[in-house]
Chains A and B, each alone.
Chain A
Amino acid sequence: MDKIKIVTHIFTLFVVISILLPVYWMLILSFKSIVEATTPGPGIFWVKHFSLEGWKLAFANPMAATSGATYSSSAGASYNFLTFIGNSLIIILGGMAVNVPLGLLAAYAFSRYKFKGDNHIFFWFLTNRMAPAASFLLPYYHMYSILNLIDTYQGMILVHTVFNLPLTIWVLKGFIDDVPQELDEAASVDGYGLMGFFRHVLIPMVLPGIAVACLFIFIFSWNEFLFAQFLTHFRATPLTYAIYRLIDVCTMIMWHEVGAVTLVSWIPAAIFVVFMRKYITRGFMFGAVK
């Protein structure tokens, strides 16, 4: 083994460890009792008394003590972090239901037809994703308060299409480009109309593309924070904002609960990287600049 090989191994090991250490840190934090978790000293690096308090506080209690204090306005409601995960999922599934059909139609048009300014429109779609969310937030915040869309699922689903629809179109266009154009003509000769063509020919062929698009929608909606922070209060609050509330509002931070919910919020990321390794690089070149 030569020197360069050894250096490579050490460096890679160092990177892998420095990525996994925070996971370990959150794991031990979530399995401590609150007293142990917040005691400084050498004991911070491992768990002495294994406890499920944090996990219970986050997911088993119908009325989580810490988050209960933060949402006093909705007295009497019973909820815990499962509620917020549910909210996240509703926003994500709603987003998929809007984005995939519209994205499919638009991606097909972009892929098959040359029309005036199509490149410009396509790039405009993409630049929408790159615009800073903070600038977009202000008009949304004001318009939503006028339209009474604050703290509603519809509002969150709508605002998420700003960055999800361009990505969906872009992902699906790549897949539709690979479907030979002769199929379109054959379908039209066979007498398929628009609906028939999409249902029986195109959609079955780009099913993997739809899955990829859905996974991207899932991960970006799941991770979104800024809009959630200001456009929801309680009813439509997704997980990300609920986690932040644990740290922001409470006088005493329940660190074992934070550890538990943080770990749960990382599960989709873990699933995503396992299934999507092939597409990540491409997806990031345009998709992830946000």
Chain B
Amino acid sequence: MRWWWLVIPAFVLVGINSFAPIFYIVYLSFTSYHMTGGTPKFIGLENYYKLVQDPDAWMGTLRGLGFSIMCTAIELLIGLCLALALKEYKGKIGTIITTITVLPLFVPPVTVGTLFYSLAKAIFSPIPYILGNLGIRYQFGTNPYHTIITIVYMDVWHWTSLVAIILLAALSGIPSEYYEAARIDRASRWTIFRRIVIPHIRFPMVVAALIRFIDTFKIYDEIWVLTGWLPITKFLSILTVRTAIGEANMGYGSAIGLFFLYIVIIFTALFMLITSIDERRKISK
């Protein structure tokens, strides 16, 4: 018990770093404060009344949820297929393929934005060119469907590998005896998949889905670069930054930011709950 106090320096630093801003943003959300001038003035719950009636905030939430659900569903599906495919490759070739697959996860998100800007939005972009040759008039920005499909594709390109490697880890945890037993019983591929694979990766799938869902809901960098000023992609993160700093309305922006934080905290709590159930399940086994 001598050295428990070693945790204190980190505790103090993270404490200052996270508690102080949280208290401060709560305080700011109760004030009317424009950064253009003046000091914060206490106005009670007024910012929150405004928030409840603000269609932008609600639409931002709904858009964010819809976007996250779309991305998560597609990434989960492709990620599962990819994990099943990657499992088939062993040795050196497997290492190379897995390494290439996880590459997009670690490139700076902002450069994914610049990449898709050059792929979809510039005059020389290949996506409009190819689709144009196929007879589709692709209009990024003006056509909301094209815009949404493009940003979903961007997120799928960037993050599907994450789902794949989480599921791959789960798949390689299945004892090979199970497969052998199934083969002796002459079980079909589909039965093996349903009775052995699915039960083993059900929890990892939920975890991966939640990670992707929370992450996509918080998306900022790529979207800002690509479509920063389009109404269709005004998600909560962009709305927060734009209101508070772009329009210098710090008071109201803080209220939106807190609202955003609460939603993320709810999802994160759910995530923690599910992972802790998973841990307990593993221990009891």
1/0 per position for B105-116, CB-CB distance to A under 8 A? 111111101110
Is A50 positioned at the interface, with any CB of B under 8 Å from its CB? no
CB-based contact B221/A225 at 8 Å? yes
Q: Which of A34-48 contact B (CB under 8 A)?
A: 37-42, 44-45
Residue of B nearest to A264 (CB): B111
Interface of chain A residues 248 through 275 with chain B (CB within 8 A): 248, 253, 255, 258-259, 262, 265-266, 268-270, 272-274
Contact A106 B11 (CB under 8 A): yes
Q: Are B100 and A138 in contact (CB under 8 A)?
A: no
What's the minimum C-beta distance from B127 to chain A, rounded to whole angstroms? 11
Q: Is the CB of B225 within 8 A of A12?
A: no
| Cβ of B26 to closest chain A Cβ, rounded Å | 9
B196 within 8 A of A: no
Contact B7 A269 (CB under 8 A): no
A138 contacts B250, CB within 8 Å? yes
Chain B nearest CB: distance from A130 CB in Å? 5
**Contact of A289 (CB < 8 Å), options: B25, B168, B214:** B214
Interface positions, chain A 102-139, Cβ under 8 Å from B, are: 102-103, 105-106, 108-110, 112-113, 115, 121, 123, 125, 127-128, 130-139
Partner of B218, one of A26, A133, A277: A133
Report the minimal beta-carbon distance from B196 to chain A, rounded to whole angstroms: 16
Contact A106 B28, CB 8 Å, known A16-B100, A130-B268: no
* Structural contact, B215 and A289, CB atoms closer than 8 A: yes
Mask: chain A, 70-96; 1 = CB below 8 Å from B; 0 = not:
000000000000000000000000000
Closest to A274 in B: B99
A223 in contact (CB, < 8 A): yes
> Does A148 sit at the interface, judged by CB under 8 A?
no
What's the dominant secondary structure at chain A's contact region? helix
| B-contact 0/1 string along A154-168, CB 8 Å cutoff | 000011011001100
CB distance A38 to B109 under 8 Å?
A: no
Q: Which of B12-20, B49-57, B144-152 contacts A (4 or more CB under 8 A)?
A: B12-20
For B76-100 the 0/1 string (1 means CB < 8 A from A) is 0000011011101100000101111
Whether A134 contacts B220 in the complex (CB less than 8 A), given A255-B118, A277-B99, comes out as yes
- Cβ 8 A contact of B117, one of A102, A128, A134, A247: A247
Chain A neighbourhood of B124, CB < 8 A: 37-41, 44, 255
Bound-complex Cα distance A16 to B240 (A): 36
Interface residues of B (CB under 8 A from A): 1, 3-7, 9-11, 13-14, 17-18, 20-22, 24-25, 28, 35, 81-82, 84-86, 88-89, 95, 97-111, 113-115, 117-119, 122-126, 129, 157, 161-162, 165-166, 168-169, 189, 207, 211, 214-215, 218, 220-221, 224-225, 236-238, 240-241, 244-245, 250, 253-254, 257-258, 260-261, 264-265, 268, 271-272, 275
Other-chain residue from A4, A106, A140, A273 in contact with B10 (beta carbon distance below 8 A): A106
CB distance from A131 to the nearest CB of B (A): 6
A183–B131 Cα gap in the complex (Å)?
65
Per the bound structure, the CA–CA distance linking A266 and B254 in Å amounts to 34
The answer to whether A11 touches B25 (Cβ under 8 A) is no
A161 partner, pick from B11, B13, B126, B221, beta carbons under 8 A = B13
Given contacts A44-B129, A230-B245, contact A240 B115 (CB under 8 A): no
Residue numbers of A with Cβ under 8 A of B are 4-5, 8, 11-12, 15-16, 18-20, 22, 25-26, 29, 37-42, 44-45, 98, 102-103, 105-106, 108-110, 112-113, 115, 121, 123, 125, 127-128, 130-143, 158-159, 161-162, 165-166, 169, 194, 219, 222-223, 225-226, 229-230, 239-241, 243-244, 246-248, 253, 255, 258-259, 262, 265-266, 268-270, 272-274, 277, 280-281, 284-285, 288-290
Complex alpha-carbon distance, A289 and B241, angstroms: 20
A132 adjacent to B123 (CB under 8 Å): no
Complex: how many Å from CA A247 to CA B28?
Answer: 32
Complex contact B9–A105 (CB within 8 A): yes
List, in ascending order, chain A residues with CB within 8 A of B220's CB.
133-134, 225-226
Q: Which of A132, A143, A246, A265 sits near B264, CB closer than 8 Å?
A: A132
> Given that A12-B85, A113-B1, A262-B111 are contacting pairs, would A162 and B17 also be in contact in the complex, using a CB cutoff of 8 Å?
yes
Q: How far is the CA of A165 from the CA of B16 in the complex (A)?
A: 13
Question: With a CB–CB cut-off of 8 A, which chain B residues contact A226?
Answer: 220-221, 241
CA distance A41 to B220 in the complex (A): 32
On whether the beta carbons of B9 and A106 are closer than 8 Å, the reply is: yes
Chosen A-B contacts, 9 in total, with CB atoms closer than 8 Å, are: A11-B85, A18-B157, A127-B272, A132-B264, A133-B237, A137-B241, A165-B14, A269-B107, A284-B166
**In the complex the two chains form, is B10's CB within 8 Å of A102's CB?**
yes
